[in-house]
Chain A
């Protein structure tokens, strides 16, 4: 007897498979990152709808649970068309879908991260998006077991004047606690603690810190380099 389920999900990646089919990876609330073959996925009828970020109604079927299985897809909502002409928003869409496809384990539900990612992808044109993206990267690290402890200084135990993050432990360090070691520590801009950023340079400083842990913790753990889309978003933001 075939196994099947039906759920809404956001398309993360698509790879051609044979002449007309595609292997699609989608992020769903209850089943996490899940792959399946879409027959006719590269056809003229379906291909325009199967762009990263698209919300799909997915009906997955397979003979056995551990088979790749196939998706019957019904496009519900596209996100890409609205951002194709906006360099920064498009780079943001790529960074989010690229990091999710890269980092999430297959078939492991992450409902909180799903809700957060959906909200982020639905607000690509908002002026505060870069800050929301920075906090989303923090949440991604936390969800996957690499949380940063930014609540208290690891040296002095102080909760005030936190200005740095230890690149080794991911714990906050205050200005006083850092002493002569400050040039070896990563920046902890207030926007990383949830405060409204003063300018883009503050967000870029925060991205430098999250990027360090994405690279040294997450990517190192997975044994693969970070997707280039993340770096391209940082470059696009610095030039914006």
Chain B
């Protein structure tokens, strides 16, 4: 195999490791990039190199940023006295896409687990408690998953923050566009419990 072919195979192998891609789709993507070299491949290579050099975790909230402090933590407009606690950076990005929350975030990077030795320190919970005092936080919104591990983590954080600020959590229930027939028992139970006057 020539060097060029070996490089292309290596690229396909790497692409195939990405979420949502397999060997076949990676092959198609690489072929497409080679065909659109100037339009896609060269700019993509440049951007990848830049991101690899600069991307890091925000030291305050755990978001992915280009410097030690992310744009959200650096912005004075986001100092609303509210912190939204999420499990993962993907959840933070989902919240930001909705453009509803105007405060700051705290990324846990996981959840407490019944079996695994993932403790509060691993999730940056002491750092969250320190932030509540240092940033004059009045409300912490727990936006963790409605799973056993997610809610165990939520209860733990709520206990640790007792008396320091208001702790709220996202509502659970019927999603927009959802039909009751397709919902699991747990969601229907949660929705019924959280019903409100119409």
Write the B146-164 contact mask toward A (1 if CB under 8 angstroms, else 0): 1110011001101100000
Interface code B15-28, partner A: CB below 8 Å = 1, 0 otherwise? Answer: 00001100000000
Q: What 0/1 readout, one digit per residue, does chain B (87-127) give for beta carbons within 8 Å of chain A? A: 00000000000000000000000001111010100000000
In the complex, what residues of B have CB within 8 A of residue A49's CB?
184
Q: Which residues of A contact B159 (CB under 8 A)?
A: 87, 239
Determine if A91 and B152 form an interchain contact, defined as CB atoms under 8 angstroms apart: yes
Mark A82-97 against chain B: 1 for CB-CB distance below 8 A, else 0. Answer: 1011010011011101
What residues of chain A lie closer than 8 Å to B185, measured between beta carbons? 77-78, 81
Per DSSP, chain A at the interface is helix
Q: Which of A124-132, A153-161, A225-233 contacts B (4 or more CB under 8 A)?
A: A225-233
Chain A neighbourhood of B148, CB < 8 A: 51-53, 80, 84, 90, 93-94
Within the complex, the shortest CB–CB distance from A73 to chain B, in Å, comes to 13
A84→B115 contact, CB < 8 A: no
A227 and B114 contacting across the interface, CB-CB below 8 Å? yes
Contacts of B152 in A (CB 8 A): 90-91, 94, 229, 232
Among B113, B114, B172, the one with the most A-chain Cβ atoms within 10 Å of its Cβ is: B114
Least distance between B117 CB and chain A CB atoms (Å): 6
A13, A19, A80, A236: the one contacting B115 at CB < 8 Å is A13
Report if B14 contacts A (CB, 8 A): no
B193 is an interface residue with CB less than 8 A from chain A: yes
**Quick check: is A136 within 8 A (CB to CB) of the other chain?**
no
Q: Looking at the complex, which one of A53, A95, A225 makes contact with B117 (CB distance below 8 Å)?
A: A225
Q: Which of B19, B119, B172, B189 contacts A19 (CB 8 A)?
A: B19
Task: Determine if B43 is an interface residue (Cβ-Cβ < 8 Å).
Answer: no
B189 shortest CB reach to chain A, Å: 5
Tally of chain A residues near chain B (CB < 8 A): 32
User: From residue B115, how far is it (CB to closest CB) to chain A in Å?
Assistant: 5
Expressed in whole angstroms, the Cα–Cα distance for A53 and B185 within the complex equals 14
* Cβ contact of A48, chosen from B20, B112, B184, cutoff 8 A: B184
CB distance from A42 to the nearest CB of B (A): 11
Return the chain B residue nearest A239 by Cβ.
B159
A48-B184, A81-B185, A87-B155 known; A98 vs B114 contact (CB < 8 Å): yes
| C-alpha spacing A49/B19, complex, angstroms | 23
Residues of A within 8 A of B (CB): 13, 19, 48-49, 51-53, 75, 77-78, 80-82, 84-85, 87, 90-91, 93-95, 97-98, 101-102, 225, 227-229, 232, 236, 239
What are 25 A-B contacts with C-beta separation under 8 Å? A19-B19, A19-B20, A48-B184, A48-B186, A51-B147, A75-B184, A77-B185, A84-B146, A84-B148, A84-B151, A84-B172, A84-B190, A85-B151, A85-B193, A87-B155, A90-B155, A91-B152, A93-B148, A98-B114, A101-B114, A101-B115, A227-B115, A232-B156, A236-B155, A239-B159
Q: Which 10 A-B pairs have the closest CB atoms?
A: A81-B186, A98-B114, A229-B114, A87-B155, A94-B114, A84-B151, A48-B184, A81-B189, A227-B115, A52-B148
